[in-house]
Amino acid sequence: MLGAMENHKDASGRAGVGSYFRRHEVSLTNSYWQIMQLVPGSQNGQFFAWVVVEGIMLKVPITVPKVFYLNSKATISENFPGRRVIIDEDQFRRESKKLAALLADPEIEGIYERKIPLEFNAILQLGCVCKVDKTAKKRNAQDGWRLSELHMKTTTECAYLEQAIPFFYLYHSICEGRAIYAAYFSSSGAVFVVVVNPYHESESISPYILEKYFREACQALSIEPPTRNGISFKASLYFFIVNYVEHVKDAEKNLQRAISEHRHEHQGPILAVIECPNTQMMKSGIQALEDFPCVSIPSNARDNDYQLLVWQQTAAKIGMQRCSASSQWLSERISLSRYAHVPLGNFQSDWLLYTADVFYSRALRDQQQVLWISDDGVPDLGGIGEEDTCFADEVCQPVITYPGAYRKVSVELKIHNLAVDALLKSNQINEMEGGALLGFDQDVHSGNEQCGFDEANASAAAFRVMKQLIQRCLADAVSSGNVFADAILQHLYRWLCSPQSKLHDPTLHRILHKVMQKVFALLLAEFRKLGATIIFADFSKVIIDTGKYDISAAKAYCDSLLKALQSRELFEWIELEPIHFWHSLLFMDQYNHGGILAESHENSQEKSEVDIVSNWNIAQYLPEKIQDHFVLIVSEFLHTPWKYAQEQAANRKSSLDGSLCTPSITITAAENFEAHIVQYLKGQISSYFTEKLLGIVRDIVLHMKGLNGSGKVGQQSVHNVPHKGDAALEFIKHVCTVLALDHSIQHDVLVLRKNLLKYVHVKEFAPEAEFHDPCPSFILPNVICSYCNDCRDLDLCRDSALLADEWCCAVPQCGQPYDLEVMENALLQIVRQRERLYHLQDLVCCRCRQVKAAHLAEQCGCAGSFKCKEDVSEFRSKMQIFLNIAIRKKFQLLQECTSWILQIN
């Protein structure tokens, strides 16, 4: 479509339409194009580019050919002449069967880049600014251009949307027939709202209320409200119009009319920004949107969850918040387009993954490498051997846990940029490992000198290109403070392991993961060298015991520790951020721990209230009446010795106040102080805790007998997990297991446990007296929010939010519900993969533990018998966890799959 319809007159004074079009032809040929969006046409291989040329918006046809690479040992086929084949999309689809047949030819090694979408290929070559080749013939704007006639220009050479482009923003939310539409026109500042009210509720919203919501939203975002002819919207309600209709179709007609009127009033380039649950349905309902380049904003599913009462007010308020934020969002997206060299309207919902894919694809092509782009998460390796990637083992995240009672100050440190550091330091790590991780440099050992195939060697070139790409992003983030480059660095690991990435390659993921494990292990070793005691560590955080009783001394030690680590060249790009300090920490694992939290601004001398954190997942599997007793006992077990230690330290300080010398403590005095605390705690176990626990157990037994006359547990917990056996016995097992975490008093706890078990008539070493984790679980890695792109690992059985059926993003300002279908598909893929690996597993010798090498041998060379590497009972228990998840969340496909596997075995 042509914008900016101006009047041009010929020599006779009449409007010269021909001269108007000739001007466009000259502009398209001589000036650079600012591409706002590339949209597919009705024919295969045909696209339309919305471009701005010299202030005029045009819709220009572009033909994009299909390009693929045929790697053949013999003479090239007549049907596909040349190793780099360029044909049109229609011919490619007609000849697809012949291509598939070629893969069976032993002379054909592979056919590459068949799965690259034409739109993506065009964006890689054009970017967001391009210019027509000088040798191309001048033509009418509607005659179309071939992709080869257009050349990419950088945004430093040619400006991209530097002048503010007028836009209108379209917002839509809907819930059970009720809906709200809001159109905000930036050039006039007008807001047009249509409320779909099929049930004729008496509630209504007025222009005054919309104006109030809009003004509040602008103030919250520090945005100046729009003006019209110098008059602020604060002084006039002319900008706000509200219409009521009964059906969605009527609302779409009203919006169609409003957009068309706005188009007639404001000529020139105009952009449509759409935020709705389904953009395609919105375009089909409002045909006027086809006349504009459209940019989609991801929609928050929470917007479509209306309240029963006052829903119009709530929906309108959210709509006005979204309208006011639209200009800011568009400005940021234009900045991203300039940096990524991607047309404004062609970003996918997860812009981070899309931008990283674009950067990596261009970098690979610059190095003359073919792309393995695919939309199904399985890399396109030429059509041969693709199924092999399905049998790759899962990449397991290392989790290191040292359960215990840590009575000195502990600190949790969040680990940032581990993947970036591992990638940039990969050569150093490889040298330390003697080339065992990444193989030898392909530039030195090339061609026939390779004596064997290894996935590290096969992917070395691609890994090297990725490293160079991240180095460029790092330079952009450090030197110019580019926020988009910084975001790509933060999400590097997520991009690499996400099947949603077009360039997802499990091999690259495994290689980087190996390097990350080595850097992680060296980091923990460095912590220990510097005197820290590791409590818990994984790729995202580490908890250490500082060895200090005083919080200020612990913080000073932590600062010096982080400075020392930062000075190490190997950990140059790793950032460690202190998150929490604890005066005392009782730690079983990351889902079962409690501690006395120390505030960052806390003055430990005078503090009346103590913040005790109790995060005990195992308590959820006790009857509700008993859970409070469990938490109380464990909290007292934390607080009592800490309070006593505080009192002793205060007494020591007061006794030294009259002394002129600086208070200090020797190693012997510190050991005596610790021994004194241990003796005090032992005394508390044998007296206070024994007496209190015996009383609680007695009450539990009497209470349960009163309920069902047997003492057996007949109720269920809040998580609908049935409790089997004696409630008092379960309480004893849970409490004593937690108290025994303090190794200095384990003997006293065992005596306490023995006395408590006697009360319920259970022998000390009886099988039923052993504690077992009541909640074996599975962690689903890299679950991504579709709205804010937050990435986290979810423990599907122990995460408190998931147990409360709140399967949504944990970021407070987001709250977007997770896509359960995507999660189920991810779990289903893991289950199928584990089943395949179980059936294809190795046999190992029971005696020497060597893998069976001979096919027909019944016994090992050491005369030992063979057994499966993974026992059937272990496999069944893993499958049972997936079955429990499927039943709980009603994942039907997952339930059918796991049920079938368990029945077969």
Q: What's the whole-number mean pLDDT along residues 275-288?
A: 92
192 and 280 inside one domain: yes
Lowest model confidence (mean pLDDT) among 8-22, 147-161, 269-283, 449-463? 8-22
Q: pLDDT band for position 52 (50/70/90)?
A: very high
CA separation, residue 760 to residues 55, 109, 728 (Å): 86, 72, 7
**Token pair of 760 as six digits:** 């319920």
User: What does the pLDDT look like over 881-905, one tens digit per residue?
Assistant: 999 889 888 889 999 999 999 885 4
Does the residue 594 lie in any domain?
Answer: no
The answer to whether 155 and 128 are in contact (CB under 8 A) is: yes
Average pLDDT, the chain: 84
**Structure confidence by residue, pLDDT tens digits, 136-158:** 877 777 788 999 999 999 998 89
Q: Are residues 511 and 638 in the same domain?
A: no
Residue 238 lies inside a defined structural domain of this protein: yes
* Domain-ending residue, one of 562, 582, 602: 582
Which whole-number Å values give the CA distances from 847 to 543, 855, 862, 868, in the listed order?
39, 18, 8, 13
User: Any idea which of 405-414, 654-663, 867-876 has the lowest mean pLDDT?
Assistant: 654-663
Beta strands in 398-470 (DSSP E): 400-401, 404-406, 410-416
Q: Select from 492, 566, 496, 580 the least CA-distant residue to 536.
A: 580
Supply the range of the domain harboring residue 558: 400-437+458-582
Q: What is the DSSP string of 600-668?
A: TT--TTS-S--EEEEEEGGGGGS-HHHHHHHHHHHHHHHHHHHHHHHHHHHHHHHHHTT-SSPP---HH
* pLDDT mean over 492-505: 90
Quote the percentage of the chain above a pLDDT of 70: 87
For residue 175, tell me if it sits in a domain: yes
SS3 of 854, please?
A: coil
Q: Are residues 173 and 322 in the same domain?
A: yes
- Do 752 and 797 belong together in one domain? no
Let me know: does 232 contact 182? Beta carbons within 8 Å. Answer: no
Q: Average pLDDT of 661-684? A: 76
Residue pair 168/269 in contact (Cβ under 8 Å)? The answer is no
Per residue in 777-804, is it b (16+ CB within 10 Å) or e — as a string? ebbbbbbbbbbebbbbebbbbbbeebbe
Q: Is the dihedral angle over the CA atoms 807, 808, 810, 812 positive or is it negative?
A: negative
Identify the band that residue 226 occupies on the pLDDT scale cut at 50, 70 and 90: low
Q: How far is CA 204 from CA 174, 200, 312, 318, 322, in A?
A: 17, 10, 7, 15, 20
Please tell me whether residues 132 and 264 are part of one structural domain. no
Query: Is 248 a member of any domain?
Result: yes
891 and 838 fall within a common domain = yes
**Which pLDDT tens digit goes with each residue over 746-805?**
999 999 999 999 988 888 888 888 888 887 788 888 788 878 777 778 888 887 777 767
Total tally of structural domains belonging to the chain:
5
pLDDT over threshold 80, residue 10: no
Q: Can you give the CATH number for the domain in which 498 is found?
A: 3.90.1600.10
Distance in angstroms (rounded) separating the CA atoms of residues 229 and 392 = 65
Spell 213-238 as b/e; 16+ CB within 10 A means b.
bbbebbeeeeeebbeeeeeebeeeee
In this structure, of 175-189, 263-277, 439-453, 555-569, the range with the lowest mean pLDDT score is 439-453
Whether residue 181 sits in one domain with residue 139:
no
Residue 661 has pLDDT above 60, yes or no: no
Of 561, 582, 603, the one marking the end of a domain is: 582
Are 557 and 420 in the same domain? yes
377, part of any domain = no
pLDDT over 70 at 168, yes or no: yes
863: left (phi over 0), alpha (psi -120 to 50) or beta: left
3 state DSSP class of 232? strand
Tens-place pLDDT, residues 343-374: 999 999 889 999 999 999 999 999 999 999 98
- Residue found by looking up tokens 């520790």 in the block: 561
Both 741 and 783 in a single domain? no
- Quote the pLDDT of residue 37: 96
Nearest to 311 by CA among 174, 183, 171: 174
Q: Answer yes or no: is 600 within a domain.
A: no
User: What are the pLDDT digits (tens) for 611-639?
Assistant: 899 999 889 888 888 899 999 999 999 99
How far apart, in Å, are the Cα atoms of 704 and each of 620, 697, 811?
Answer: 18, 11, 41
Same domain membership, residue 404 and residue 284: no
> Coil, strand or helix: which one is 796?
coil
Task: Work out the percent of the chain whose per-residue pLDDT is above 90.
Answer: 47
Please check whether residues 641 and 764 belong to one and the same domain.
Answer: yes
List the single range of 111-115, 271-275, 816-820, 844-848 with lowest mean pLDDT. Answer: 816-820
Per-residue pLDDT at 787: 81
Count of Cβ atoms closer than 10 Å to residue 151 Cβ: 15
List Cα–Cα distances, 170 to 74, 182, 184, 323, 428, in angstroms.
57, 6, 7, 8, 52
400-414, 809-823, 841-855: least confidently modelled range: 809-823
Last residue of a domain, one of 582, 605, 633: 582
Q: Which ranges of 341-370 does DSSP label H, i.e. alpha helix?
A: 351-366
- In a domain, residue 6? The reply is no
pTM: 0.86
How do beta strands 611-616 and 592-598 pair? antiparallel
Residue 602 forms part of a structural domain: no
Same domain, 298 and 262: yes
